Structure formats: structure tokens, C-alpha cells
A and B are shown apart, each in its own frame.
Chain A
């Protein structure tokens, strides 16, 4: 059974004075199974962030639906959407988004505090998590006192502490050096092994190569996807970079309007065949 289903998602932005319409998402359809680790790749402007925002219920689609655990997110009332997000989704951001006013411990507690949980429960959940993420010694420090990698691991702890159905990560390695990025990706792989579903949006081939499946987005549609199967990380890395080359060179020399139609056709070929 699919945990997350994205069906024919469309998003059109209208500029403030009504004139120009920008199509950010043309037609996106895919699904994520329980326990999967999926990466979404694409260039800047391909619609990744829009897609993630819609899945995170931070933005509303123009057409189509996002269904998480059999619940259509469009049908959730505005009042309940925050609670829904808090209980079902965990977020990891590129720039960490930790509150400077809180210690790491309190940052991690934040979603549970908002959900109204008791202090005992929070503490109970924090300890094993902190150990796994190797941040148990710095819990009482403030974000400005620790390194980027440590900040991001605290952010991961914050995402995981609510035991979400799915973790949405937006360029989680974007602000980290390669060592810290590697450490974080190992942690992602670990928690995925423990059964956590992860959906990660990324630019980085290195990050994407750790996923079970990689979706490629171009000009607002899913362009292609690769499955890991039994491939190693290195093999995965090459497959991704080959696909990216095709993605980037395939349309060289064509003008914008044609690109869009081609992209649509290609989506129907690839996605239609495999999903």
C-alpha cells in the first residue's frame, strides 16, 4: 500500500497584478511506499520546492491531490492542518531552521510541546534518538554554539521525535561540508533501515545516490526515475549522473515552449510505464 500518493499535481502561480501565469508544476504523479527512501532531483526552477511545499501542506495545489495515509490533504480543514502536519510529517531543512532562542534540547522538543505532550514522554523519546544521532553531549548548547553538522542532526532529531509517517527533507546537505554531509546521509540510511520513510529533495548526486529510488523532475513534471535494485552507492551515483546528463543535454538548442511539450510527452512515457 502506498503511504504517500501524489496524483496529477498542478500548480500555477499568478503574478500579483494578474498578468503572467507561471506553471510551476504541470502534472506530477508518483507514490511512495512505507519504508522507502526516495530522492527527488532536478535543477533550480524545476518545481522541486513547490512540490515539497505542497506535500508539506504549506502550499495548496491548483489541481490534483496529495494523499497521505489515505487522507486527502486538500480535505483537511485549515484549523487542523497544523496539527496534521505536526503529527504526520517531519521536516529537515537546508538552513536547519532551528530557533536561536532555544537550546538544542528544546528545539527538538518543540513539536512535542506544540502537540501538548508531557515532559516525561519527551525525555523518554529524546534519549535514544540523541544517542543515535550522536548529539547527547550538546543538547544544552544553543544553535549558535555548535557546528552546521550538529545543527542539522539536531534538526533531524526534531523531525523524528514525533515519529512521523514520513520525513520530508529539503536539501538537507546543502549547507554542510562533505564530511558532515556524509555523516548525515549515513544517519538517513540508518533510520531508513529502521523503517522510517524518507522523501528528500536534493541537488546533490552524492545525497541522491543513497536513496532507494530517485525521481527526476524537469519543468514541472516527473521526467524519469531510477531504482537502486541491488546496485551499490557508487553504481547508483553513476546512474544518476548519466540520467542528469541526458536531462540536461537532451533539450539543448530548443526554445522554451517546445521544451514544455517535450517534457510532458516524456513524463507520460516514463511515468506511465513504471508507476
Chain B
């Protein structure tokens, strides 16, 4: 009659007694499922589908949600492999004591069920407690209305319960297969054989250097063009492979050199550390690679997130330097003065302050640039050579920038919103001009030298005649196409701005010569939602990658700690003091921790070349900010890393000291 309760009791005991490996697993599972649950709740909220501006956020959350699911399955699978490795001996013993495979299977099923219940309950309870808060964070980051109603959907709960059931089932299945295949003695005894040194270390090292070098080369020399995404993944792949080869061969070659240096090797601190690492050199190298790659992921995610967070205002300012743009036909629009007066009165009435009011006249040409030759645009040209040129008469420009330039006939000024024009001649189809000066700063539009997507040249010519002459060669008729543009930046609350904008539109469209009215308020809001959503996802993924990294490091050290337990016992018997044990452990753990950190930081620095380009595609041009963030994040990361190093060394020491108990 007692037999009934035996298996559940054994299962519970199994979890409790192995708490040093099971608790972190349960912890990371709870966190992962919690995040999954919260993302799901947010996606299923009505506001995400009803609010038009939330579409971006909804889409980003969906992408994040799917990615989260994809990452979590292999990660929890990998962590589970550590757990089962530790349990095999105990299960082997049960089997020798007469427990059938069937009973062991039931035992493992019960264990899985207990953990499943703990994880799902904790994740859902935490989710219910904190999801509202996290939702508010998302609304806040995306500047969506905070008073939005929030509801918990049963669908999300069902998804979570089901998803973790699938993960648990996969893990249980692998464990059952592993245990089922092995006989009791195999379960009990672990192989004592050391790992064989891989053949052709030198070729491996050379291959690693070449792969890594090529990956780095791609990253550093990458340009923003259609192939940047394929290049990005190619570089990631090459760097991962290169890291793998190089760490494997490099760490083994390095250890061998240390070993061959007798004076160094036969010293009490080094001796055990080096021989231990040689003993499991391949496994050691594999973990170093994993830690390095994960650390790189954490670093790059965090750098992008932080830079984005700090850079959003400037991105918006670059994309939309003004709130309202109105264009008139210069030749027909005569009531400029009266109209401007009316605008000012309107602003006063509506309680809006006009922060800036720019106006200038221009004619637009869409062209293809070949060195200093300006050709008519055709569809076959590379988009990087396509530009918009705005021809501006000198007096209009001088008024706008309050400048006092003077130009002879045949001379022009040039201002580029992207990379500098950099040449002293500009050849139009029918005429060539000397560039008298390249202007580096103007209120025409913000400039960013690494802006390649929306490059624009402002060419300031001596007078309207010159504009007419040049434009004619490109088929642009000046009488119709010389524009008078007005750009305004407003201050005031959203409702006031909106009311003002509507009335301004009315006022302007009745003017003779009115051409176009653009209000960018909605576009600005859209970018806020998009970048805010990216930020939110960046924060969560940064945290998740970080936790994955810490868990991998922890398990690696713990498993090795259990493997080394016997060794340290022997060494203490032979006469190794506690202090020496501690020192050796520190050395061994130190290497494990800091080689990947150094590798990760190097990868990150090189990766930044590419990230800068990718960010530029999102109108993020603040290279200095990215550099500052890189330094800051790397330092912060190294500190967190250092703390976890100390904690891990402690846990490791506790484990190897356990034999006496």
C-alpha cells in the first residue's frame, strides 16, 4: 500500500536534492514563460488591433513573440541536457535496486509534471501581477495613449500552458530515450577517458583565422545597399564558425604550450587548472564558443537598444525637421506678406507658437550623378547614385541662412544632406560650374555624412536665370516648377497643433499658386511607435539573452564542479590546502570567463561597423552616440560578468568541497 506513494515521493526528493541544478532551470523557465505570457497578453489586447497607430507596435510584438518561441525551445532543451546528465547516476542506482524502466519512466514523468506545474503557475501568476505594468511601459515607450484599457485574455493563458507542455514533452521524451537506451552500469559510470586532441590543429587554426578574418572584413567593409542583410547573416555565420575553429584550436594549442613549459606547468596553481582543461579540451572550447557568441548577442542587443533610446529625438529631427511644409508656385504666389501675417494671427488665436519659419525658392531635378557629371535619371542606375538636386537662387538662400555670399557667373555653392560633394566642379548637361564653396551646415535640412538613402544636393546658383537655364536642360519648365516653400516647426499641445494645421491648410489652399500642403504630425507619431516598439523588444531580448548567458555559464561550471569533486578530494588527501584549492578554482574559472568576454568585445567592436550601417538605414546617424554606448555597455557588461564570475567560482568551490558531508 505504501508503494503507491513511493514514486511521487522519490520524484519530489529528486528535485529537492538536486536543487542546485533544478532551481536555476525552474527559474529560467519561469522567466521565459512569464515573458512569453506577457507578450501574448499584450498582443491579444484589443487596443493593439483597434488603435490605428498601434499597428507597428503590434507587428513588432508579433515578431518578438515568434522569435522568443523559436529561441526558447532549443535553449530549454540545451539546459535540460545538463539536468539529465546529473540525474543519470541516481537513475542507474534505482535501476540496479530493481526499479524497472517503466517505473523510472513514471518517476521522470512525475518529476516533469511537478516542474511543469511550478513553472506554469509561477509564470501565470507573475504574468497576471506584472503584465499591466509592462503594458504601460510599452505604451509609454511608443507614446501611445496610456488610458487605453487593458484586459487579460484567456487565450494567452491557454497558449502558455500549451507551449510549455510542448517544451516539457520534448525534454521528457529525450530524457526517456537516453535513459531507456542505456543499461544501469552505463548510467552509473561516467567515462574516465580524457578527450583526444583533434587532428590538424594548425589547419584548424588557420581555417578559423581565415573565416573570422573574412567575416570581419565583410563587417568592416560593408556598405549600405540591397545586400546588407545577406552580408550581415553571412558575416554572422563566418564569425560563429571562425570563433568555433579558432577557440578550439587556439585554446588547445595554447594549453599545450603551457604544458610544455615545465617551469610554468609544474607550479601548484597552474598544474591542476591546465591539466583539467586539457582533459576536457573540446567540451571546454565548445562552451567558450557558446558563451562568447551569447555575450556578443547580449552586447549588440544592448548597444542598439541604448543607442536607439538615446537617439530617437535626433532621428525624428532628421527625418522630420519641421511639422508642416507648404509649397506654392513662386511665379503665381504674390500675396506672400499678407498670407504670412494671417498665419501669425492664426497661430496666436489657436495658442500655438511657431518655433521656426523657413522659406526659400527652388527648382527640383531628379538626377543620376557620375563623378561630377549630372545626368538625367534613368531606372537602371544604382540607387546610391540617385539624388535630388534643388537649385536655389543666391538671394533666396542668403535670406534663409542670413548669409552674405557672393557668386560670379559660373560659380555655385553646394550643400549636401549626405556625404560631402567634395569636388570643385559640377557639370550639368549644358553647362559646367565652379564650386566656390561647399556649405557644411544649413537650416535647409539637417546633414549626416553617412546618410546614403535620401541624399540631396542643394546647389545655390547666382540668380534665377541660372536656375532656369540649368533646369531647362533636364526638361523642367521654370514657370511652373519654381517652388516657394514654407517650412514650420510648431510648439503647443497635440490638439492645438492639429486645429491650427487644419485651419492653416484651408487658409493656404485658397491662395493663388497653392501647390501642396503636408502635415508630418502623424508620420512623427508613427516613428515614435516604431522606435518605441523596437526599444521595448530590445530591452526584453537583452534581458533574455543575458539570462541565457548566465545560465549557460552557471551550468558549465556546476557540471565541471561535479566532475572535479573526486579530483579535489584526492588532492586534499595528498596535501593540497583549502587555500590552494580556492586559488586553482579561481584560475580555472577565470580563463573560462574572460577569454569569451575578450572575444565577445572584439566581435562587438567589429560588428559595430555593420550596426552603424544598419542603423543608418533607419535614419540613425549618430556615430558618436553609438561609440559612447558601445563603451558604456561593454564596461557595464564586464562588471556584471565579473560579479557572476565571483558567484560562479563560489558555487563551484561549494560543490567540490561537498565530499566530506
Contacts and interface: CB of A to CB of B under 8 A. Distances in A.
B266 A119 contact: yes
Given A106-B275, A116-B268, A119-B263, A143 B575 contact: no
Contacts of B370: none
Contacts of B275: 99, 101-102, 106
Nearest to A106: B275
Contact of B193 (A91, A115, A144): A144
Nearest to A170: B573
Interface string A81-104: 111011101010100011111100
Given A116-B268, A122-B266, A142-B194, A101 B575 contact: no
A113 B194 CA distance: 22
The listed residue with most B CB atoms (<10 A of its CB), out of A85, A106, A113, A122, is: A113
**Which of under 10, 10 to 19, 20 to 34, or 35 or more describes the interface residues of B?**
20 to 34
Contacts of A158: 574
B572 interface: yes
Contacts of B18: none
Contacts of A116: 267-268
B580 interface: yes
A111 B279 contact: no
B446 to A, nearest CB: 62
Contacts of B575: 82-83, 85-87, 89, 111, 114-115
Contacts of B278: 101
Contact of B580 (A97, A98, A114, A142): A114
Contacts of A82: 572, 575-578, 580
Given A113-B266, A122-B266, A142-B194, A101 B574 contact: no
Interface string A122-151: 100000000000000000001110000000
A109 B268 CA distance: 10
Nearest to B268: A114
Contact of B271 (A79, A86, A110): A110
Contacts of A115: 268, 575
Contacts of B267: 113, 116
Contacts of B574: 86, 91, 97, 110-111, 114, 158
Contact of A56 (B569, B573, B578): B573
B262 A91 contact: no
B279 A110 contact: no
A233 B539 CA distance: 79
B271 A101 contact: no
B163 to A, nearest CB: 42
Nearest to A56: B573
A106 B279 CA distance: 13
B570 interface: yes
Contacts of A2: none
A98 B576 CA distance: 14
A271 B572 CA distance: 34
Interface string B241-258: 000000000000000000
Given A82-B576, A101-B278, A114 B571 contact: yes
B279 A100 contact: yes
A160 B570 CA distance: 16
A83 B577 contact: yes
Given A79-B577, A106-B275, A111-B575, A99 B266 contact: no
B17 to A, nearest CB: 15
B192 interface: yes
Nearest to B262: A119
B276 interface: yes
Contacts of B194: 100-101, 142, 144
A142 B197 CA distance: 14
A113 B271 contact: yes
A52 to B, nearest CB: 11
Contacts of A114: 268, 271, 571, 574-576, 580
Contacts of B572: 82
A228 to B, nearest CB: 30
Contacts of A101: 194, 272, 275-276, 278-279, 567
A79 B582 CA distance: 13
Given A106-B275, A114-B574, A99 B567 contact: yes
A58 interface: yes
Interface string A156-183: 0010000000000000000000000000
Given A82-B576, A82-B577, A110 B571 contact: yes
Interface string B186-210: 0000001110000000000000000
Nearest to A159: B574
Nearest to A103: B275
Interface in B564-617: 567, 569-580
Contacts of A102: 275
A170 to B, nearest CB: 10
A116 to B, nearest CB: 6
A139 to B, nearest CB: 14
A14 to B, nearest CB: 15
Contacts of A79: 577, 579
A102 B578 CA distance: 20
A144 B573 contact: no
A220 B263 CA distance: 47
A165 to B, nearest CB: 13
B570 A99 contact: yes
Contacts of A58: 573
A212 to B, nearest CB: 26
A91 B573 contact: yes
Given A82-B572, A101-B278, A101-B279, A109 B577 contact: no
A100 B571 CA distance: 12
A81 B192 CA distance: 31
Contacts of A87: 575
Contacts of B192: 100, 143-144
Interface in B254-292: 262-263, 266-268, 271-272, 275-276, 278-279
Nearest to A98: B570
A85 B575 CA distance: 6
A82 to B, nearest CB: 4
B322 to A, nearest CB: 70
Contacts of B567: 99-101
Contacts of A122: 266
Contacts of B569: 97
A147 B590 CA distance: 36
B269 to A, nearest CB: 10
Contacts of A99: 275, 567, 570-571
Contacts of A119: 262-263, 266
A115 B574 CA distance: 11
A109 B571 CA distance: 12
B6 to A, nearest CB: 24
A81 to B, nearest CB: 8
Interface string A51-91: 00000101000000000000000000001011101110101
Contacts of B279: 100-101
Interface string B546-573: 0000000000000000000001011111
Nearest to B280: A101
Contacts of A97: 569-570, 573-574
Nearest to B193: A144
A114 B268 CA distance: 5
Contacts of B271: 106, 110, 113-114
A89 B573 CA distance: 10
7 contacts: A82-B576, A100-B279, A113-B266, A113-B268, A115-B575, A122-B266, A143-B192
Given A82-B572, A97-B570, A143-B192, 5 more contacts: A82-B580, A86-B574, A91-B573, A99-B571, A100-B192
A-B pairs with lowest CB-CB distance, top 7: A86-B575, A82-B577, A101-B279, A119-B262, A97-B570, A144-B192, A85-B575
Interface of A: 56, 58, 79, 81-83, 85-87, 89, 91, 93, 97-102, 106, 109-111, 113-116, 118-119, 122, 142-144, 158
Interface of B: 192-194, 262-263, 266-268, 271-272, 275-276, 278-279, 567, 569-580
